[in-house]
Amino acid sequence: MHANEPTWTDERIELLKSRFEAGLSCREIAADIGVSRNAVIGKLSRLNLRREGSGDERRPPRKNGEKGRRPKTAPRLQYQMLRALYAEPQRVAEEPIQDGHRCSLLELSAEKCRWPINTPGAEDFCFCGNTPVEGLPYCAGHTRLAYKPNSHLRVARR
């Protein structure tokens, strides 16, 4: 059926222009046509249809000396990649962490897991106290919790 998938046909370009002039965002246009957002933006730029004062900020032309592309060492890019990779499948089951070694702040040492238990300042506030992983302040279970990408989901401290 569709032996070939042409890049930008006149129809596509017309559609692109229509959507663009209709005020749709590049994201919408891309999803509608079936291409990536960058493809839409790139084509629009090539067509000389760059947006004017709409949508976002005015940003001065970047220095030509600095390549827009960074091979590596990109803090933002790296964290975005990692986030994308770990995006959804983060299904966290409750880690069975052993209790019974809890200790107070004063009893805390390099040999005790420093994971806080309960609310700081409360009567029963203490620390995990399990044997930590070598080189880390937490025991195995709490290390996993500490490094959990979605730790912002309020992990029940145990």
Residues of 41-58 as b/e, b for ≥16 C-beta within 10 angstroms?
A: bebbeeeeeeeeeeeeee
Residue whose CB is less far from DNA, 16 or 97: 16
Dist. CA 40–CA 34, nearest whole Å: 10
Choices 72-80, 105-113, 114-122, 124-132; region in contact with DNA by CB under 7 A: 72-80
Structure tokens at 152: 């912002």
- Annotate each residue in 27-56 with x if it binds DNA (CB under 7 A) or - if it does not, as one string: xx------xxxxx-xxxxxx---xxx--xx
The answer to the question of residue 90 lying near DNA (CB under 7 A) is no
Q: Which stretch binds DNA (CB under 7 A): 59-67, 96-104, 112-120, 122-130?
A: 59-67
Q: Identify the helix (H) or strand (E) that includes residue 116.
A: strand 116-117
Measured distance CA(1)–CA(121) in Å, rounded: 70
Residue type, 110: A
Is 25 near DNA (CB under 7 A)? Answer: yes
Interface with DNA, residue 154, by CB under 7 A: no
Q: List interacting residues with DNA (CB under 7 A).
A: 7-8, 25-28, 35-39, 41-46, 50-52, 55-57, 59, 61-62, 64, 67-72, 74, 76-77, 79, 83
